[in-house]
Chains A and B, each alone.
Chain A
Amino acid sequence: MHLRKGLALAAGAVVGLAACGSSSSAGTTGCTNLNATALGGSVGAPSLANAADMVAAPATVGGAVVKIGFQGMLAGSSKNYGIDAKNGVQMAIDDAGGGFTFNGTPYTLEVDAQDDVDATAAGAQTAAQKLADDKVVAVVGGIFSTASIAAQKIYHDNGIAQISPSATNPKYTDQQPTPISSFRVIGRDDQQGPIGADLLVKTLGCKNIAVVDDKSTYGAGLAAAAATQIPVDGGTVVATEHVTAGPGGDFKSQLTTIKGKNPDAIYYGGYSQEAGPFAKQAKDLGLNIPIAGGDGWQNSDFKDLAGASGDGAFASNGGPAVSSLTDFQAKYKAKFNQDVFQYAPQAYDATNIIIAALKKDGPDKAKIIADIGATKDYKGISGTISFNSKGDVIDTVFTIWKFTGGDWKPFKPVTTHNPTS
Chain B
Amino acid sequence: MEHCFDLLTSGITPEGVLQQLINGIALGSIYALIALGYSMVYGVLELINFAHGDVFMIGTFIIFGVVQATHAGPEMTFPLLLAVLLLGTVLAMVACAALGFAIEKIAYRPLRNAPRLAPLISAIGVSFVLEAWVTTYVSDRNHALPTLIRGEWPIYGYVSVTNVQVLMVISSILMMVGLQFLVRRTRLGRGMRAVAQNREAAALMGVNLDSVISFTFVIGSALAGAAGLLWVLNYSTSNSIGFLLGLKAFTAAVIGGIGNIPGAMLGGFFLGLAEALGAAYISNISCGFFSSSYQSVFAFALLILILVFRPSGILRERVSERA
Q: Using CB atoms, name the residue of chain A closest to B235.
A: A248
Complex CA distance for A301 and B24, rounded to whole angstroms: 28
CB contacts under 8 Å to A, within B23-55, are 23-24, 27
Q: Does chain B have a CB within 8 A of A104?
A: no
Complex CA distance for A257 and B11, rounded to whole angstroms: 8
Contact check, A77 vs B144: say whether CB atoms are below 8 A apart.
no
Q: Which residues of chain A are near B292, meaning CB under 8 Å?
A: 241-243, 253-254, 257
- Minimum C-beta distance from B78 to chain A (A): 18
Residues 125-161 of chain B: 1 if any A CB is under 8 Å from the residue's CB, otherwise 0?
Answer: 0000000000000001111111100001000001010
Contact check, A304 vs B13: say whether CB atoms are below 8 A apart.
no
- Among the 9-residue stretches B214-222, B237-245, B310-318, the one with 4 or more Cβ atoms under 8 Å from chain A is B237-245
From B16, B143, B238, give the contact of A256 (CB < 8 A): B16
Contact check, A244 vs B293: say whether CB atoms are below 8 A apart.
yes
Contact check, B241 vs A248: say whether CB atoms are below 8 A apart.
yes
- Minimum C-beta distance from A245 to chain B (A): 8
Contact check, B276 vs A260: say whether CB atoms are below 8 A apart.
no
Q: Which residues of chain B are near A249, meaning CB under 8 Å?
A: 235-236
Contact check, A277 vs B280: say whether CB atoms are below 8 A apart.
no
Residues 170-205 of chain B: 1 if any A CB is under 8 Å from the residue's CB, otherwise 0?
Answer: 000000000000000000000000000000000000
Complex CA distance for A125 and B20, rounded to whole angstroms: 41
Residues 258-298 of chain B: 1 if any A CB is under 8 Å from the residue's CB, otherwise 0?
Answer: 00000000000000000111011000000000011111100
- Minimum C-beta distance from A269 to chain B (A): 12
**Contact of A309 with B147 at beta-carbon distance under 8 Å, contacts A250-B27, A259-B158 already known:** yes
Size bracket, chain A contacts: 35 or more
Highest count of chain A CB atoms <10 Å: which of B16, B74, B141: B141
- Minimum C-beta distance from B150 to chain A (A): 9
**Contact of A305 with B144 at beta-carbon distance under 8 Å, contacts A247-B238, A253-B279, A284-B162 already known:** yes
Q: Does chain A have a CB within 8 A of B91?
A: no
From B147, B234, B280, give the contact of A257 (CB < 8 A): B280
Interchain pairs with CB closer than 8 A, number: 124
Q: Which residues of chain A are near B295, meaning CB under 8 Å?
A: 243-244, 250, 253
Q: Does chain A have a CB within 8 A of B15?
A: yes
Q: Using CB atoms, name the residue of chain B closest to A306.
A: B144
Q: Which residues of chain B are near A283, meaning CB under 8 Å?
A: 147
Q: Which residues of chain A are near B293, meaning CB under 8 Å?
A: 214-215, 242-244
Residues 223-252 of chain B: 1 if any A CB is under 8 Å from the residue's CB, otherwise 0?
Answer: 000000001001111101100110000000
Highest count of chain A CB atoms <10 Å: which of B160, B235, B294: B235
Q: Does chain A have a CB within 8 A of B306?
A: no
Contact check, A252 vs B276: say whether CB atoms are below 8 A apart.
yes
Q: Which residues of chain A are near B90, meaning CB under 8 Å?
A: none
**Contact of A248 with B244 at beta-carbon distance under 8 Å, contacts A242-B293, A253-B23, A276-B236 already known:** yes
Q: Does chain A have a CB within 8 A of B89?
A: no
Contact check, A253 vs B280: say whether CB atoms are below 8 A apart.
yes
From B23, B291, B294, give the contact of A252 (CB < 8 A): B23
Contact check, B237 vs A248: say whether CB atoms are below 8 A apart.
yes
Contact check, B16 vs A246: say whether CB atoms are below 8 A apart.
no
Give 13 A-B contacts (CB < 8 Å), ordered by A residue. A77-B238, A215-B291, A242-B293, A247-B238, A253-B279, A260-B11, A260-B16, A260-B158, A280-B144, A280-B147, A301-B141, A304-B141, A305-B142
User: Footprint of B on A, CB under 8 Å?
Assistant: 75-77, 79, 214-215, 239, 241-244, 246-250, 252-254, 256-257, 259-261, 273, 276-277, 280-281, 283-286, 301, 304-309
- 7 A-B pairs with the lowest CB-CB distances in the bound complex, closest first: A242-B293, A253-B279, A248-B241, A307-B146, A242-B291, A247-B238, A260-B16
Extra 6 A-B pairs, beta carbons < 8 Å, given A259-B158, A260-B16, A277-B236:
A77-B140, A254-B279, A256-B19, A280-B144, A301-B141, A308-B146
